[in-house]
Structure 1
Amino acid sequence: MRRHVLVLISDSDELLLSKVGEKTTPYLTHCRCNHLTLFGGSFFVMPNHVDVSRTAELFATVDENYVVLVLMCAFFALYLLTLVWACFADRRSRLKRKMTLLEDNHPGAHYNYLISVYTGNRKNSGTTANVTVMLTGSEGESETHSLADPDKPVFERGGVDMFLMATPFPLGEVQSIRLQHDNSGGQPSWYVNKVTVQDLQTQHVFHYFCDCWLSSDHGDGTTKKTFHAARTDEIANFRYIFKNRTSTGFRDEHIWVSIVDPPSRTPFTRVQRVSCCMCLLLCTMAINIAFWNIPVDESSPVILVIGSLQLTWQNVMVGIQSGLLMFPINILIITIFRSIRPRSVAKKPKREDQKMDAVTVPTVLKDIGEVVSLVSKSQRNKISETPRLESITDLCSTLDTVHEFIQLMQGECESDPHWVYCSKFLLAGLCHLLMDLEKLDGRNVPCPHDYQQALNVANVLVRKAEMVFSCHLASCPPTVTKQKKSTASCWLPWWCVFLGWFLLLSISAVSTYFTLLYGFQYGREKSIKWVMSLGLSLFQSIFILQPLKVIGIAVVFALLLKPVSVEENDEVKQVLMGQREKCKRFTGRETL
């Protein structure tokens, strides 16, 4: 066979010789080079060879080499124990994730705000006190509402509690909020991290950076504070974005740390996170043992030299191949679990078996007085708050005031959301008043004449309010930004959870099989050495690579000035349905 000499010319005009080696065949060329290039090397590095056909023979040596088997059993036992804990923790978390419809919302109010309260992570930062909130906007202020939920604990350390507040009319730009508690309970001190208020009609979000104690024992010793909305430059501040991205990154994106304290409203449960960690661990073990202690290629080019350490092309290719084998599938599984839309089950409204309170003159006067009082909280309505009503005679004078307000709304030529919601709220209040007056027995009323007059006026006002509401609604329908859906995160259908579990179990089973197969082939002494190197690899992944990834992502987002987005949740629709059900019972009408 004739030998060929290949002559290559480099940029420096030096001769680079490549000779055909002695292992050359008609189908294979053996190239021998005298220069550091990838021309004479293989692109891929093959792992240690294992004969799959010897599976039964190798597994039969378990009594001689049980090192890898014991390690696997220990990991699976730890996994099962952690899985049991994760199940109970997820059950508690599901209860805490419940979104709260405030019980003191007026049934006729239809303008909705979603209030998210973030309690700090400091020691004893949760509170047992009763907390109240009041919103102040550019077009009016809300009532003082109690932030409580009879079905779950609220304001626990590190928790996020979400409340739906309904107001009779838009408050405009929510300029400030006032938080207060009554200093009750065994641990009343409360550390508030931040509060966000989302206008569910316009999707505008207002941020309030609190970072303070509401306590008589900590901070400035006060239990009531007013917080103003953060400016745009404060929200887009590098320090704020980096801090929040790092915090949420370790709680959500660091797969190992996130098991302990994941975000409160993520669909990625602790059980799924624990299982993904186990799958990642098994993949790491399988790939590590396959490439462990492979023969060193002396001809592999040296890429980097740092002191006595040398980084060869073989090392680089092993790292690249390991990453390509391990990360894509695991990232796919994690992405599936993280992006699955929770399966929503339509909840049937609770039937109220309790008997309705008897309709009396005081309750009728109280209800209509509350309606007028709420409407008067906006300066645009030009209506003064009426004094406490004592009799049916006072009701007649109040209805005259309501009539003047209806005429004011009727005279408004330009419609806007304020008049739409005000007229809708007033119509609901008048419908409730008319329903209660009809239930009253006119013969038992102290002044039957005044009662009949109030009943007639209420009938007229209901019809006028319907006309005014219809006119404003036709001219200015309620604005709800539906384009938000196009920019929202991509959700997968709920049944994709089965695909995620199938991939997870399949990859875990294959990794376990090959890890045991390699371990039995290596023998006891080599397996012990491999276990030691595995520990170093896991330490590097958990304490170096994952934190660097989280910090790197936080820096990128901070440099791009992208603040942490407000969490979106389909549970809002169900809570809004609850408010509409209250309105139906309040007005006695199916639609309003």
Structure 2
Amino acid sequence: MITPDLINNTPGMWYIDAKLFDSDWEPGLTLKFTSFTGKCLYWHTVKKKWSTEGCQVGEKSTPVQTQCLCNHLTLFGSSFFVMPNNVDISRTAELFATVKDNYVVLALLCAFFGLYLITLLWACYADRRARSKRKMTLLEDNHPGAQYNYLIGIQTGHRKNAGTSANVTVKLIGSEGESSVHLLADPDKTVFERGSFDMFLVATPFPLGDVGNLRLQHDNSGGHPSWYVDKVTIQDVQTKNVWHFFCDCWMSADRGDGITKKTFNAAKSNEIASFRNIFQSRTSTGFRDEHIWVSIVSPPSRSPFTRAQRVSCCMSLLLCTMAINIAFWNLPVDESSPVIFSMGSMNITWQEIMVGVQSGLLMFPINILIITIFRSIRPRMPAKSKKDNAENMRPHFVTMHAILKETEEVIFLVSQSRRNKMSNVSQLETTADLWPALDKVHEFLQLMQGESESDPHWVHCSKFLLVGLSRLLTCLGRLDPNSFPNPYDHQQALNITNTLVRKAEMVFSSHLAYCPPPVKTEKKRTRGCWLPWWFVFIGWFLLLSISGISTFFTLLYGFEYGKEKSIKWVMSLGLSLFQSIFILQPLKVLGIAVIFALMLKPVAVEETEEIELVLIEQQEKCRRWAGRDGL
């Protein structure tokens, strides 16, 4: 017989202190009663809603299973969602005190965290190296007055010893002219390493037209001169036209065909949109960027999603997977759950489908939101130091030899276009050679003045000539008059150059009026919206919060299950992770690649914020070189 002394009425839980008067029992025993509610529902096909008509909860119902007794046959359920295993948070201290008897889950988490810290240190070091290599290179041998820009991206292959120590040069050959031979080098970083993607800005005096050929060459110098070039992209910064060159060959004296100088043809539209090319590009991009685990080793070189962030996202993803897996692990089978799909002896029930759906919904924050934030953050661009600006503003010593060399170079670059109908001059060696060169420039100005129809070619040619003449006028003004045979020659050179500058201004203004530059519109981001740099703190906050919550519940469930069940769960978790990393995610990458290849959608050319800074640097270089503003 039980005589209740005190009843604590808590929703869903009753605690009753009872004294037992039977001689076989000791007095003062506290009993704990747990109450639960159950409800049987079925889908009413006429009323189109859930109903309880004709159904009641049976006596065999438990907190994890519901017995429904109905007087009709229909699909019914006691709950739309499948509830995870029960765990009492109020017993946290009690469960954590059992760590000495059940250290399985704790040991697993410690191992994962130790591996994470080691990998994070390596990732930070690799990110620091990659940050220095991310720089887009403004070629030093670009002519300061050239203002028509091409962006060259060169992908070095991933084969063994694919990188080169040799000096590489490039020449662009277009339908309306050729560029100079440019040395592809950067004083601040090593270029053309294995698997690297290097970007260079090449400036020309005028548009080259349709770039149909690319000439690459190296001097076979250094300890490992052999170079495997994968592919090259050339983008016209002004028109956004892109040309692809599928090189896929060795440039080496002792490998491949033994040639270190090759001319490549631009790929045709059917080659770019071929299934093979798109599938290979999408697969490579997918494994290096979309497969979150594999991308840690070799992410895209210019991605704002760093290795440290990828490692941390993998750790958070792992912890979240562990928490969800242990919460739904070894759930009692609901015999009343309808079978949705059956193949032989394999049956997929509604309960299993709902567990998968709920797990996916719980994984959304780590798998989508946090990763998307890190992918979409606009990188912070380093500000140019004032020291560099001060050094660049210092006037340089002017000599007659330097003036003649610069004038010769301007005329040579203009003569590289067939439309200009301008022959090159012989080498300028003395002051007497300056007068024929100025006459040739005057003839070219008259040619441009006589062109009735304006286009970007004449706009950029007239601007390039204006910049060159402005530079010549500035240098003549600073030149020692004694550099000429007599002072009259110096004054005459100043007068002629000043006249040519005014005429060049008139020609440039005329062509610019009839062919104005395109209005700059806001760029459409093909790769999603770009977030401010400070969103990185939001991403880290969400990542750390989810990781902490997942770790807490994983430990709580592990202590609740006990040692034997925890060991079985660890084995189940290992199989689940292996399946996800090595089977499901690779299949996802390959599937997406096949879909895009069948839809014939090539990989878009990467947009980057750095190009704006490099263009500004080139314009500033032109302004300083010419010695005047407004150019």
2:547 matched to 1:542? no
Unaligned runs of 5+ in 2: 1-39, 47-52
Contact 1:200 1:480 in 2 (8 A): no
Residues in 2 aligned to 1:337 and 1:254: alpha-carbon distance in whole angstroms: 15
Structure-1 residue corresponding to 2:267: 230
Specify the alignment match of 2:430 in structure 1. Answer: 391
1:78-98 Cα distance to aligned partner (Å, 9 max, x none)? 111111111000000001111
Alpha-carbon separation, structure 1, partners of 2:43 and 2:357: 32
Match of 2:398 in 1: 359
> C-alpha separation between the residues in 2 aligned to 1:18 and 1:329?
44
Greater mean deviation of Cα atoms: 517-526 or 473-482: 473-482
Question: Which of the numbers 434, 438, 453 marks the counterpart of 1:414?
Answer: 453
Q: Does 1:458 align with 2:509?
A: no
Alpha-carbon distance, 1:444 to partner? 3.8
* Alignment match, 2:145: 108
Residue 127 of structure 2 corresponds to residue 90 of structure 1:
yes
TM superposition score normalised by structure 1? 0.93
**CA 1:18–1:547 in 2, change beyond 3 Å: closer, same or farther?**
farther
1:67-126 CA distance string (max 9 Å, x none): 111111111111111111110000000011110000000000000000000000011110
Aligned to 2:163: 126
Q: Which residue of 2 aligns with 1:77?
A: 114
Q: 1:527 aligns with which of 552, 556, 566?
A: 566
Contact 2:326 2:569 in 1 (8 A): yes
1:449-498 deviation line (CA, Å, top 9, x unaligned): 43332221111101111111111112212236636436563111212111
Q: What CA deviation, in whole Å up to 9, does each residue of 1:218-277 have, x standing for no partner?
A: 111100111111111111111111110000000000000000000000000011100100
- 1:307-349 CA-to-partner distances (Å, cap 9, x unmatched) read 4433222222211111111134431110111011112343246
**Contact 2:156/2:162 (8 A) holds in 1:** yes
**Which amino acid letter does the alignment assign opposite residue 291 of structure 1?**
F
Give distance in 1, aligned partners of 2:594 and 2:157.
23
Tell me which moved more, 433-442 or 308-317. Answer: 308-317
Residue type matched to 1:326 in 2? M
Quick check: 1:177 aligned with 2:214? yes
Matched with 1:382 is 421
Matches within 5 A, 1:44-443: 44-348=81-385, 350-351=388-389, 353=391, 357-443=396-482
Contact 2:169 2:217 in 1 (8 A): yes
Mark the runs of 5 or more structure 1 residues left unpaired by the alignment: 11-16
Please identify, of 179-188 and 326-335, the stretch whose mean Cα deviation from structure 2 is larger: 326-335
Give, in angstroms, the shift of residue 360 of structure 1.
1.8
Please, what TM-score do these two structures have when normalized by structure 2? 0.88
Deviation at 1:304, TM superposition (A): 3.3
Q: Greater CA radius of gyration, 1 or 2?
A: 2
Separation of aligned partners in 2, 1:44 and 1:589: 73
Distance 1:8 1:426 in 2: 84
Contact kept in structure 2, 1:393 and 1:450, CA below 8 Å: no
1-structure distance, mates of 2:431, 2:353: 89
CA spacing shift, 1:160–1:36, aligned 2, 3 Å: farther
Structure-2 separation of matches of 1:268 and 1:443: 60
Matched residue SS, 2:440: helix
Q: What are the equivalent positions in structure 2 for 1:3-82 lying under 5 Å apart?
A: 20=56, 22=58, 31-32=68-69, 38-82=75-119
Cα displacement string for residues 104-157 of structure 1 (whole angstroms, at most 9, x for unaligned residues): 000000000000000000111100000000001111000000000011000000
Task: Please give the alpha-carbon distance, in whole angstroms, between the structure 1 residues aligned to 2:336 and 2:391.
Answer: 84
Q: Does 1:512 align with 2:551?
A: yes
Q: Distance in 2 between matches of 1:494 and 1:38?
A: 52
Q: Which residue of 1 aligns with 2:612?
A: 573
Q: Do the aligned residues in 2 keep the contact of 1:283 with 1:508 (CA within 8 Å)?
A: yes
Q: Which amino acid aligns with 2:593?
A: A
Q: Using the TM superposition, give the Cα deviation of residue 548 of structure 1 relative to its aligned residue in structure 2, in angstroms.
A: 1.2
Instruction: Indicate the larger mover: 489-498 or 528-537.
Output: 489-498
Deviation at 1:41, TM superposition (A): 4.9
Alignment coverage as a number of residue pairs: 579
CA RMSD of aligned residues (A): 2.4
Contact 2:400 2:483 in 1 (8 A): no
**Cα distance in 2, alignment partners of residues 527 and 24 from structure 1:** 29
Residue 20 of structure 2: aligned partner? none
* Partner deviation per Cα, 1:42-79 (whole Å, 9 max, x = no partner): 32111110000000110111111111111111111111
Distance 2:342 2:206 in 1: 70
What one-letter code is carried by the residue in structure 2 that aligns with 1:250? F
- SS at structure 1 position matched to 2:212: strand
CA 407–37 in structure 1, closer or farther in 2 if over 3 Å, else same: farther
Aligned residues with identical type, % of pairs = 70
Question: Given residue 388 of structure 1, which amino acid in structure 2 is its aligned partner?
Answer: Q
